[in-house]
Structure 1
Amino acid sequence: MLIETRGIVFRALKYSESSLIVDIYTEARGLQSYIVNGVRSQRSKHNASIYQVMTLVDMVAGVREDKGLSRIKEIKSACVYRAIPFDVRKSAVGLFMAEIARKTIREAEANPELFNFLYQTFQFLDQTQQPIANLHLHFLVELSAYLGFMPGGDLTLDTPVFDLQEGVFSDNSPAAAYCLDLELSKAFYALLNSNFTECHLLRLPAGQRRQLLSKLLDYYRLHLEHLPEIHSHQILQEVLG
């Protein structure tokens, strides 16, 4: 059986001398893994660059009901990035978002809303002319909604701090375990109430931005079992300064 679908390349691993094993998040079947034989040989019909992380593709691929690796029959680029490959900041943000998506999305089933969110996010990252220093933070917030643990509640005089473990704004002391302090809770609430295209308007000091990233990753670890270690955020922090 063959399916025709859009996809987002999450990862490509070398396999044998000339092949790849590729993880692609597909619109039709969710997260799928494929074996691509001979793509790294000189006689290959396909350029291995199409399997680079973040690439948006149109593809025709086989479907296996068992857990074996499927094969790709046809594949082509669906959108050629104009900025990401040449902008170190955009590249770092994109690689971070791709790593987060790969390590948190595990379902091999269609989720059109989640797919469109990811697809449009990578397109926006490539096309936007606005600053992107807050984009990865907003991405983490929005993705949490699709994963089932969107932060809730409101920041008020009675609930002035965000509790990472409970996932809501709380009346707990800022010193309580897993609670953001007062200033970071205010910044987090402002982030929650911004939208993707305007999150660059938030004036976050670099130190506060680093703290928010660290705490959001803690939030993910608290709400997702067996979350693998995230690596690209260290490079991201250096690039964004």
Structure 2
Amino acid sequence: MLFKTEGIVLGATSYSDTYSIAHLFTRDFGRVSYLLPISRGKKTKIRNSLFFPLSVLYLEVEHMPLRDVQRLKEVERQFPLYGLCTNMTKVSLAFFISEFLSFILRESDNNELTFDYLKNSIETLEATEKGLANFHLALMMGLTRFLGIYPNTEFTGNYSFFDLQHGEFVVNEPMHSYYLDRKESHYLRDLYRINYSNMHLFKLSRNNRNEIVDQLLDYYRLHIYNFPPLKSLEVLRELG
């Protein structure tokens, strides 16, 4: 049966000499793998160039519930990504975010709200010029709300440690090793105010930013099953 939906490109993997597998997060079906013909000429109906990481596409697809890999019938780009293809900071962010999402979005309820948040995030990244180095921090913070793992950020002077495992501030040092010390916890409290509108106001050094990314990834790994190390992280660490 044919359906019309929207999709965000997460990446692609090799499959054969004539096909690759495109991985997308769709508004109606969540994360889906599609058989993507490898282009051979100008008359190719579905162009591989449409499947750059974080491209937002209109899709007509054949969707069968028991099929592991679905089929594409029509594909159209919703809006061009000039910045994400030419600005090296945005390119680095696009590859990191798409790899991050490819693991985080393996299973997701509430697909429509999550899709709309991510689509707006991509449009914002394409248009933004200030505070780009903090963009992924704002996205990772915001996405926790849609995945049902948003931490309890209520904080008083008595609650000194942030427990990564339970997602809350606590009075005493936890018995396990998954927590932030007093300084890191206080800093995290302030950082949870970050969003796309104010991210340029957060003056972070490269070392600060890398420490925060590591802490956020630790938090996600504690709450998302089988979340592996990200290959694109080392490139992202070079952002100024």
Please give the secondary structure, in 2, of the residue aligned with 1:11. strand
Aligned match of 1:116: 116
Instruction: Percent identity, please.
Output: 29
Could you tell me how far apart the structure 2 residues matched to 1:67 and 1:163 are?
A: 40
Aligned match of 1:225: 225
Aligned match of 1:49: 49
Could you tell me how far apart the structure 2 residues matched to 1:108 and 1:176 are?
A: 28
Could you tell me how far apart the structure 2 residues matched to 1:81 and 1:10 are?
A: 15
Question: What is the 5 A alignment of 1:131-142?
Answer: 131-142=131-142
Aligned match of 1:208: 208
Please give the secondary structure, in 1, of the residue aligned with 2:179. coil
Q: CA distance change for structure 1 residues 70 and 184 in 2, over 3 Å: closer, same or farther?
A: same
Q: CA distance change for structure 1 residues 149 and 109 in 2, over 3 Å: closer, same or farther?
A: closer
Residues 1:12 and 2:12 aligned together: yes
TM-score in terms of structure 1 length: 0.92
Could you tell me how far apart the structure 1 residues matched to 2:19 and 2:94 are?
A: 25
Q: CA deviation at 1:4?
A: 0.7
Please give the secondary structure, in 2, of the residue aligned with 1:133. helix
Please give the secondary structure, in 1, of the residue aligned with 2:57. strand
Could you tell me how far apart the structure 1 residues matched to 2:196 and 2:78 are?
A: 23
Could you tell me how far apart the structure 1 residues matched to 2:206 and 2:69 are?
A: 43
What is the identity, as a one-letter code, of the residue corresponding to 1:127?
A: A
Residues 1:159 and 2:159 aligned together: yes
Question: What is the 5 A alignment of 1:175-214?
Answer: 177-214=177-214
Could you tell me how far apart the structure 2 residues matched to 1:166 and 1:174 are?
A: 10
Could you tell me how far apart the structure 1 residues matched to 2:156 and 2:110 are?
A: 38
Q: CA deviation at 1:32?
A: 1.1
* 8 Å contact from structure 2 (residues 13, 21) kept in 1: yes
CA shift digits 1:113-171 (9 cap, x unpaired) = 00001111111001012121111112111112222211113222111221111111111
- 208-217 or 154-163, larger mean C-alpha shift: 154-163
Aligned match of 1:27: 27
Aligned match of 1:79: 79
Aligned match of 1:103: 103
* 8 Å contact from structure 1 (residues 29, 110) kept in 2: no
Please give the secondary structure, in 2, of the residue aligned with 1:71. strand
Q: CA deviation at 1:15?
A: 2.2
What is the identity, as a one-letter code, of the residue corresponding to 2:62?
A: G
* 8 Å contact from structure 1 (residues 92, 235) kept in 2: yes
What is the identity, as a one-letter code, of the residue corresponding to 2:196?
A: F
Could you tell me how far apart the structure 2 residues matched to 1:206 and 1:237 are?
A: 7
The alignment covers a number of residue pairs equal to 239
Please give the secondary structure, in 2, of the residue aligned with 1:134. helix
What is the identity, as a one-letter code, of the residue corresponding to 1:200?
A: H
For structure 1, the residue ranges without an aligned partner over 5 or more in a row are: none
- 182-191 or 19-28, larger mean C-alpha shift: 182-191
CA shift digits 1:61-91 (9 cap, x unpaired) = 0111213321111001111012111111111
Q: CA distance change for structure 1 residues 175 and 234 in 2, over 3 Å: closer, same or farther?
A: farther
Runs (4+) of structure 1 exceeding 6 A deviation are none
TM-score in terms of structure 2 length: 0.92
Please give the secondary structure, in 1, of the residue aligned with 2:219. helix
Could you tell me how far apart the structure 2 residues matched to 1:85 and 1:48 are?
A: 14
RMSD (Å) for aligned C-alpha atoms = 1.9
